[in-house]
DNA sequence: CTGTTAGCGCGTTCAA
DNA sequence: TTGAACGCGCTAACAG
């Protein structure tokens, strides 16, 4: 079922059929309707590979994400899918599990697949050789969830967000605030958020506790419980992501501390699910779906303009704070 | 950067370069190494579109899912991505938001994209015109999360699972068990689970209460609260999915009933997140990632064999039960 | 073991 | 306004 078949069936040349689809105004109305009719009944669909080969544009965008198991990225991908469909692009998502090697592989595969551009969420833009390859090939790309002077990014100011949060907690009466983070060196986002904690504590005139770094999720629960059993124990935990916050809620339960009366827990990410939890998760919210949409939009816009997105086009989206129910004024005994 | 350039640079013909990649054993070791070396330094990657056009195989699989915002499908897609990467395929996922029209669109786009096959999660296989088109084109496909005699499926026996659950709840001492479901007509999965509830109740000699159908998630909370305030109120809720179960936990909170002491809540899906909640979510578990893996595996296997998967190749995966902490023996007053 | 060549389906010249 | 013909990059058939 090719353009040939349609041309034959409609009694015109392939060129006319091609034009009927791509430059309808150049075809006589009667001819056009006839061709459309014929194509319709034959169930003709233009072959994307041939079109790509000819035009050097695939209308496919590559997406590189750490994982889909974290709802943050699933929500983001959903937003990308929306925006891409809107703009007539398809998506080809690959996951890396935070492994640099898989970032490389992903980019290779996507390059070979002739994607017109990519949106990436990487571990660390400064060290990513995958990004270097994209630049070398002058392939348009946008980083999501990042902020970096050398790359076009769509992100939020995670440092400011956490610093603000610290101020908010201090205003509530918290003094002993601990930051809980995944591997800091594995992600510049985690690092950025930790910096926000340190700055926020310093601004409040408090001494920052060492960041509780929980490298492996499997181990996280025990580490947090241990932290909560210290004396003095923290009255509030700031988590570098929402999944970690869930673990903290559980750890509080195991350690016999009620939330929020005896312990405040605040996450980071704003996954939609958090709103349905009991207690509703207090968290710094990022607009995850919008992050995806805007990343795609930035990329698509650049593709239409003909020049790749520049670092100057980077966007910082507004973050928010969901008060939720896992965060409150500390009990007097804990103050 | 085409095969031509590599051939020229290596001083061989394009055919030899092609063979060096696709049938290495047919090329003299020295020649092969030389070509690989040249390609490497030039940064050559074979052009997927040209290869697809020529071979009529894209090594891309289409995926049609309701949404990525429900972790069930995100986990499933992650499993698919794993299996596909393993087998050398890329994925092109599209979401439908449970709308039939978008199922159609998705299939059209994927057909045009020359996918070698598809995995779909649809509303209702019996009524899906999208599936008819796939059959008409003889394009291989597999349905995930479905059970249907006319289609190749990978799913679980949701009816049996819920019937078993009812028996389990009855054994714990529950009599007033209510099923909470999303729109039943919108999904044959929901319908299947509701049938399991009715069968289970009948088998236990209990009269099934009307299924509490909550069409819109936004409205769900109020409907469930109202249900819990009935007299007599149910002592246990079975939810047709985990997201609904979260709402039930919240509704219980709002209605002032403690879980599991005064109300048991059991979900369906086994999203990974449920295990980290407090109380840990009691639920019927499906192997979501495996569902994705096996669907892809079935498809890929068929592709390699050269003939599309048949309904006879369908798989029913084992479901499980996570005891969790949201389900227990009812308090005596409620018995 | 290696080279030459046709053609996959399409869009885009250039002519008519 | 329409048609004929070329070539995008690649694989496979055939020839050597």
Structure confidence by residue, pLDDT tens digits, B120-174:
999 999 999 999 999 999 999 999 999 999 999 999 999 999 999 999 999 999 9
Q: For A47-56, how does the pLDDT look when each residue is reduced to its tens digit (9 = 90+)?
A: 999 999 999 9
Provide the pLDDT confidence category of residue A142 given band limits of 50, 70 and 90. very high
A54 CA to D7 C1' distance (Å): 8
Q: Return the pLDDT at B333.
A: 57
Strands across the sheet containing A264-269? A212-213, A177-181, A236-239, A264-269, A282-285, A320-322
| B122 contact A CB<8A | no
Which of these, A142, A80, A107, A119, lies nearest to A310 by C-alpha position?
Answer: A142
B11 CA to C1 C1' distance (Å): 15
A10 CA to D3 C1' distance (Å): 14
Please compute the mean of the pLDDT values over residues A247-271 and round it to a whole number. Answer: 97
Q: For B57-95, how does the pLDDT look when each residue is reduced to its tens digit (9 = 90+)?
A: 999 999 999 999 999 999 999 999 999 999 999 999 999
Print the SS3 string covering B48-84.
Answer: HHHHHHHHCCCCEEEEEECCCCCHHHHHHHHHHHHHH
Q: Return the pLDDT at B225.
A: 96
Rg (CA), chain B: 25
In a mutational test of the A interface, the residue from B48, B138, B260 whose CB has the highest number of chain A CBs within 10 Å is: B48
Rounded CA-CA distance B197/B129 in Å is 29
Nucleotide showing the shortest C1' distance to residue A23 CA: C11
Provide the pLDDT confidence category of residue B288 given band limits of 50, 70 and 90. very high
A23 CA to C13 C1' distance (Å): 15
Residues with Cβ within 8 Å of residue B219, at least 6 apart in sequence? none
Nucleotide showing the shortest C1' distance to residue B54 CA: C8
Residue with tokens 């909470």: B180
Q: For A167-202, how does the pLDDT look when each residue is reduced to its tens digit (9 = 90+)?
A: 999 999 999 999 999 999 889 999 999 999 999 999
Given CA atoms A86, A91, A97, A99 in this order, what sign does their dihedral have? negative
Rounded CA-CA distance B327/A297 in Å is 46
Q: Return the pLDDT at A331.
A: 83
Rounded to the nearest 5 percent, the helix, strand and coil shares of chain B are 50, 15, 35
Q: Using the predicted structure, report yes or no on whether residue A110 has a pLDDT greater than 80.
A: yes
Q: Using the predicted structure, report yes or no on whether residue A332 has a pLDDT greater than 80.
A: no
Token pair belonging to B250 = 């919240």
- HSE, CB side, 13 Å, CA atoms: give it for residue A312: 3
Rounded CA-CA distance A87/B61 in Å is 21
The set of strand C positions with any atom below 7 Å of a protein CB reads 1-5, 7-13
| B91 contact A CB<8A | yes
Provide the pLDDT confidence category of residue A217 given band limits of 50, 70 and 90. confident
Provide the pLDDT confidence category of residue B216 given band limits of 50, 70 and 90. confident
Return mean pLDDT, chain A: 95
For residue B3, say whether its CB is under 7 Å from any atom of strand C: no
For residue B51, say whether its CB is under 7 Å from any atom of strand D: yes
From A43, A78, A278, residue closest to B95, measured CB to CB: A78
Rounded CA-CA distance B110/B96 in Å is 13
Rounded CA-CA distance B268/B36 in Å is 51
Q: Return the pLDDT at B335.
A: 40
For residue B192, say whether its CB is under 7 Å from any atom of strand D: no
Please compute the mean of the pLDDT values over residues A254-265 and round it to a whole number. Answer: 96
Q: Using the predicted structure, report yes or no on whether residue A333 has a pLDDT greater than 80.
A: no
Q: Using the predicted structure, report yes or no on whether residue A334 has a pLDDT greater than 50.
A: no
Residue of B nearest to A51 (CA): B49
Strand partners, A71: none
Return mean pLDDT, chain B: 95
């Amino acid at each position: 079922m090719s353009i040939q078949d349609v041309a034959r069936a409609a009694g015109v040349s392939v060129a006319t059929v091609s034009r009927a689809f791509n430059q309808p105004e150049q075809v006589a109305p009667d001819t056009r309707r006839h061709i459309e009719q014929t194509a319709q009944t034959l169930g003709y669909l233009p072959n994307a590979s041939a079109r790509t080969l000819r035009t050097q544009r695939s209308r496919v965008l590559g997406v590189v994400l750490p994982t889909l198991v974290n709802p943050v990225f699933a929500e983001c991908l959903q937003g990308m899918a929306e925006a891409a469909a809107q703009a007539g692009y398809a998506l080809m998502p690959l996951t890396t599990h935070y492994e640099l090697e898989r970032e490389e592989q992903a980019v290779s595969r996507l390059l070979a697949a002739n994607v017109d551009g990519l949106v990436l969420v990487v571990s660390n833009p400064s060290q990513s050789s995958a990004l270097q390859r994209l630049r070398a090939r002058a392939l348009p790309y946008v980083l999501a969830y990042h902020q970096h002077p050398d790359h076009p990014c769509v992100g939020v100011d995670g440092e400011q967000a956490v610093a603000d949060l610290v101020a908010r907690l201090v205003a509530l009466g918290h003094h002993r605030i601990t930051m809980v983070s995944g591997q800091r060196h594995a992600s510049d986002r985690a690092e950025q958020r930790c910096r926000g904690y340190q700055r926020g504590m310093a601004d409040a005139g408090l001494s920052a506790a060492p960041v509780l770094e929980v490298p492996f999720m499997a181990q996280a629960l025990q580490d947090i419980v241990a932290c909560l059993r210290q004396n003095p124990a923290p009255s509030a935990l700031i988590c570098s992501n929402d999944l970690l916050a869930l673990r903290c809620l559980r750890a509080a339960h195991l350690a016999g501390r009620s939330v929020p009366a005896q312990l405040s827990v605040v996450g980071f990410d704003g996954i939609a699910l958090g709103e349905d939890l009991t207690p509703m998760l207090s968290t710094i919210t990022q607009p995850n779906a919008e992050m995806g949409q805007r990343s795609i939009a930035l990329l698509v816009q650049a593709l239409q303009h003909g020049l790749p997105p520049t670092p100057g086009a980077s966007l910082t989206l507004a973050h928010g704070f969901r008060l939720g129910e896992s965060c409150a004024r500390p009990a007097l005994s804990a103050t």
